[in-house]
Amino acid sequence: MAVSKSVWKVLEPRNMELGPREGNKALTHWRYAKDGDGIVWLLLDRAGESANTLSEAVMSELDTVLAEVQSSGAKGLVIRSAKEGGFIAGADIRDFRDVRDAGEVEARMRRAHEIIDRLAGLPMPTVVVVHGHCLGGGLELALACKHRIAVSGASFGFPEILLGLHPGLGGTFRLPALIDPIEAMTMMLTGRTVHTKKAKALGLVDAVVEERHVKNAVRAAVAGEMKPSRPGLKGGVFGFGAARRMAAKRMRAEAEKKAPKKHYPAPYRLIGLWEEHGGDSRAMQKAEIRSFSELLASETAQNLMRVFFLREGLKRHGRGESGIRRVHVIGAGTMGGDIAAWCAARGFTVSLTDLDPKAIAGAVGRAAAFYDKGLHSTLDRRDALDRLMPDFEGDGIAKADLVIEAVAEKAEVKRKVFEAIAPRMKKDAILATNTSSIPLETLREGLPFPDWFLGLHFFNPVTRMELVEVVAHDQANEKALARARAFCGAISRLPAPVKSAPGFLVNRVLTPYLVEALTMFDEGVPKETIDKAAKDFGMPMGPIELADRVGLDICLEVARMLKERLNDPMPEVPDWLVKKVEAGETGRKAGKGLYAYDEKGRPKGEEVKVADGGEAPRADAEMADRLVLPMLNTLVRCLREGVVADEETVDEAMIFATGFAPFRGGPLHYARKRGVEEVVAALRQLEEKHGVRFAPDAGWDMLKA
């Protein structure tokens, strides 16, 4: 191993082409030197950070360097990152956190634009070389150069929309001027990244090369032998206001489906900028700066920045080395099969077993379909399938570093599985259960190694839901828990540490929300109205649709278990729900539940019926309170009981497992912003009207302190 590291060190200068190694001038974050061809190589290596971001200090130094380059007589300038991980991850949003003065932001942005404009105006050829990620402000810097060269595997994107913003450093006018304006707007409106092949096809980059060819590609660009991308015919068409107005109308309609304007104004600001100023870069630049500054100072953007930092906090839980290479999954149903497929896609060797061979075949088929859509190359897809091994005899148990159980949600079934596999597991292997609600104290009975047993609760769909509850119990080995959290990080999932308790955190909190919705439905409130009230509040889907998505059978099982094991006041489960489950109408997976579903799994629209002369109840703030406040009350109870350690974990878990209105910054953050006293008063009013289940928990006093 020492020899390998030594060889790597010797070869390190050849791994990335970084220009001359002698004569470098160095500032804090940048270093630069002129090579024998008269080309200045400018390298960004932000001090004290694992990734490059554009802070004010980085931009100030760039301005200093550009002034020197401009007067140096250089034949060309090439900019790239000296960090292995990628080019630039965007602006450093820490510089803007808690800034509420739009005027202050505007002044800072005007200065940043002057620096980028200076780069764009340099008289010599300017080339940016991108490896890894090139995002946000990093892409805007790249767009100001005359040529863009991508190293194979690079990715480009504008994630600002996910922070309640739009590009603010020239992206709104430089990208539509470079590529098809509709493609440009799609990139900015969705926040999705494009990889090298698509970037080349769009004209976003002029060339895609392997690392060993970077120097020759730079020389060709500086010598004028590399043709820069030119906008196609569509660029000319959208120079006309009428064409932009038609396209903008369609864009707004699409945006409204996923990001309602009243909650997420940024997409509509961006569309308006392009519609009004598209084709006039100077006017667009002024409008971009003003709009970006106003958005950044808004509560929505500041809350979404909070969500970004919450995500970073969860990522920190997932750092470290797990020591896990092989994973064995027991249960090839939807959850188990998808967990296995995801782990294989992330580079782990995975064996998958089930009593039913057809279930394994179905899981491998679903995995192949996911890989076809989600992985970027044929080689990646082939390798992922090679790592996912059907295991009809369970031979993978003996080799696995981690065994994940994902069988039926019944304690006796799970314990029988553990009894059978425990003697076959190797020493220090971790046994994890994917139970969604059963306390681990119940499941560990009879285990010869309860200290290496824990919970890894994934959420459905596994390929989209980022959060995993890492569940501890009082006999769990801390080393095993740390390895489990690091494993989550290695599979690009966010580990939320929680303690064993009925329902853990997320399902315990969701249950009163879902049961209250079913109670309202039982009272005659149309399901569409209930769902609308939740969505108007900002939830990604209503509780009735969510219950169907989770499965009415699972909702019923969890509700019964929580009612039996906890003192949390909860309404009785309606009899009609029991009958629905007994009849097999369990939700979307069955094609019928509270909604009926078409062949693609979409709920069919139904006419809302009301009694003669009656009027359907309207979705309003009081109805939203009746749904949302029981969640907040239960979260406070879990915090008081120590199921979670702090408010940040509460907010993280609910945002990344349930999609709780991200623009509100998290449920407890929302409660604090609304006012703890006001929330408690609203709960008391609901208690008077609807019963003791709304009684404010004693934990609210902790939040008042």
**Catalytic residue positions?**
140, 160
C-alpha distance across the termini of the chain, in Å: 54
Cα 573 from Cα 24, distance rounded (Å): 72
* Structure letter (DSSP) for residue 89: -
Token digits for 624? 């939203």
Give the β-pairing of 126-130 and 147-151.
parallel
| 3-class secondary-structure state, position 227 | coil
Token digits for 15? 């791994």
Displacement of CA 243 from its chain's centroid (Å): 34
Displacement of CA 318 from its chain's centroid (Å): 15
Q: Helix axis angle, 378-387 relative to 334-345, nearest 10°?
A: 120
Token digits for 411? 């304690």
Neighbours of 67 (CB within 10 A): 11
For tokens 């009899």, the residue is 575
Token digits for 285? 């630049």
Cα 128 from Cα 147, distance rounded (Å): 6
Q: Which residues contact 621 (CB under 8 A, 6 or more apart)?
A: none
Q: Which residues contact 382 (CB under 8 A, 6 or more apart)?
A: none
CA dist list (Å): 298 to 98, 263, 293, 418: 10, 11, 9, 52
Note whether 388 and 352 are within 8 A (CB). yes
Locate the DSSP E strands across 536-687.
Answer: none
CA dist list (Å): 641 to 287, 526, 537, 697: 50, 35, 28, 11
Cα 138 from Cα 89, distance rounded (Å): 6
Q: Which residues contact 688 (CB under 8 A, 6 or more apart)?
A: none
Cα 314 from Cα 318, distance rounded (Å): 7
Of 20, 15, 51, 56, whose CA–CA distance to 37 is shortest? Answer: 20
Q: Maximum CA pair distance of the chain?
A: 88
Cα 632 from Cα 614, distance rounded (Å): 33
Torsion over CA: 132, 93, 671, 439 (sign): positive
